A and B are shown apart, each in its own frame.
Chain A
């Protein structure tokens, strides 16, 4: 504990006090857990029959279908949002005023509007013009969700990439131009690869947000994991009660496992990048907010780095 800002290395008195607080705090946390468990138990949520539902093939199939649908939406939205992100980032740095303004307006608009509203509006539009767009049945929800996620996360990824491109030292670009490379060549072979490498942890952390936001499909009644879970719990009756608690515990565990796996990948890449002595500094893997401004996260992670760099010199 000696490395803490708030606390000195504890002496004999402080050690006794800490031990007392440890017991009291431990008891308080335990009491909270016991209260929750007793309450759930009293309502019969831990009855064996409640948990027996996971032995039925139908229940398992619907959970598996939900997971697969969520992953399908996530995969398509992730790829499309990365493509859109590169396009918008390059567009925002373009030399042509019209392109730059369009990209800036697009990014700012869709970053400011809640994702849920974008998805809902797209869904209503797709439902209205369903026959013209050639969509049918489940497809409407799928594309509304995917396009909504793409538009929002693409805007955020664009800002992340732009911060990455701007963090490439200016000499690199000047050297490339001096070698006679064209604008597109400079962007695609010099700037973007370095930006992606530097920003990879942040990009993946934003993908975690994309994965979490697929659950918004619940609101437009699209059959992804959360909707499946809710339907499952709502339509099953065990002991005159709906098994919401078991279903939510299982579903929550699936979501948390998927998100933690992706976050672990991000921080692994961050650690790997930090090891390298060459190239520009790799950004932190800190997860941006679900609807947060990735740029701000990037700025924060860059600022302390500069401060600490200044201190060591």
Chain B
């Protein structure tokens, strides 16, 4: 009990650290994932191949290996002097983007073919079809998997703490190195993660209800 009260500033900093790294990499993953999903459904072979390679490679690589690449290869070869936060964001964002891409792609594929054909036969242009017919229907089936993707991202962000970022794992490590009972630390950290994951799933449930149509 005392661990939490005595080290409230550290816990708050860790909590905010987890939140910020999760939010930053979620944004990156969302943008990258949608772009790559666009590549994967496009009628252009090189881009499709690139998207497939991206997803296959990233989904079958351990996240820790990506962190290793981000922290030992990227600063030395490509962009020297990048901050640990940006590097961790890159690793988490790229890894998660492959899952986002698959969710978006399968969401687009759930839209029945007839819908798009009907839209086109009404004379809608490509962008009209996309904006008015395909995307609204795809969004509805993309949201539930997206919720679990972002919950997973929150939990994966703990690995960033092992690579010199300040977040909840890092805080628990520091406090246990100082000799505080690990059981209590674990309990409080678990509670912090529960708060974040419940918030995310609540947010997405709200979104789902907003977008739901009565059938």
Residues of A that sit less than 8 Å from B by CB: 1, 3-8, 10, 18, 21-22, 25-26, 29, 36, 39-40, 43, 45, 109, 112-117, 120-121, 124-125, 128, 208, 212-216, 218-219, 226, 229-230, 233, 242, 244-245, 248, 251-252, 255-256, 259-260, 263, 286-287, 289-293, 296-297, 299-300, 304, 307
A213 with B62: CB separation less than 8 A: yes
Q: Which residue of A lies closest to B69 (CB)?
A: A248
Mark interface residues in B39-51 (1 if CB within 8 Å of A CB, else 0): 0011111110110
A114 with B65: CB separation less than 8 A: no
Least Cβ–Cβ distance between A255 and chain B, in angstroms: 6
Contacts of B41 in A (CB 8 A): 4, 6
Bound: A1/B41 CA distance, A: 10
B20 within 8 A of A: no
A300 with B43: CB separation less than 8 A: no
- From A1, A117, A233, A289, B72 is in contact (CB under 8 Å) with A233
B213 within 8 A of A: no
Mark interface residues in B120-142 (1 if CB within 8 Å of A CB, else 0): 10000010011000100000010
Instruction: Enumerate B104-158 residues with CB–CB distance to A below 8 Å.
Output: 108-113, 115-116, 120, 126, 129-130, 134, 141, 144-145, 147-149, 151-152, 155-158
B77 with A43: CB separation less than 8 A: yes
- From B68, B69, B108, B152, A290 is in contact (CB under 8 Å) with B152
Of the A-B pairs whose beta carbons lie under 8 Å apart in the complex, a sample of 18, sorted by A's number, is A5-B113, A5-B134, A10-B43, A25-B47, A29-B47, A121-B172, A121-B185, A208-B60, A218-B64, A248-B65, A248-B72, A255-B60, A259-B60, A259-B61, A263-B60, A286-B102, A289-B149, A291-B155
What are the 4 A-B residue pairs with the smallest beta carbon separation, nearest first?
A215-B62, A114-B158, A26-B46, A289-B152
Residues of B that sit less than 8 Å from A by CB: 41-47, 49-50, 56-57, 59-65, 68-69, 72-73, 76-78, 95, 99, 102, 108-113, 115-116, 120, 126, 129-130, 134, 141, 144-145, 147-149, 151-152, 155-159, 161-162, 168-169, 172-173, 176, 182-183, 185-186, 189-190, 193-194, 197
Contacts of A212 in B (CB 8 A): 60-63
- From A117, A290, A296, B63 is in contact (CB under 8 Å) with A290
A300 with B61: CB separation less than 8 A: no
Q: Which residue of B lies closest to A294 (CB)?
A: B148
- From A7, A124, A216, A296, B176 is in contact (CB under 8 Å) with A124
B47 with A292: CB separation less than 8 A: no
B169 with A120: CB separation less than 8 A: yes
Q: Which residue of A lies closest to B109 (CB)?
A: A5
Q: Would A116 and B169 be within 8 Å (CB), given that A25-B47, A290-B156 are in contact?
A: yes
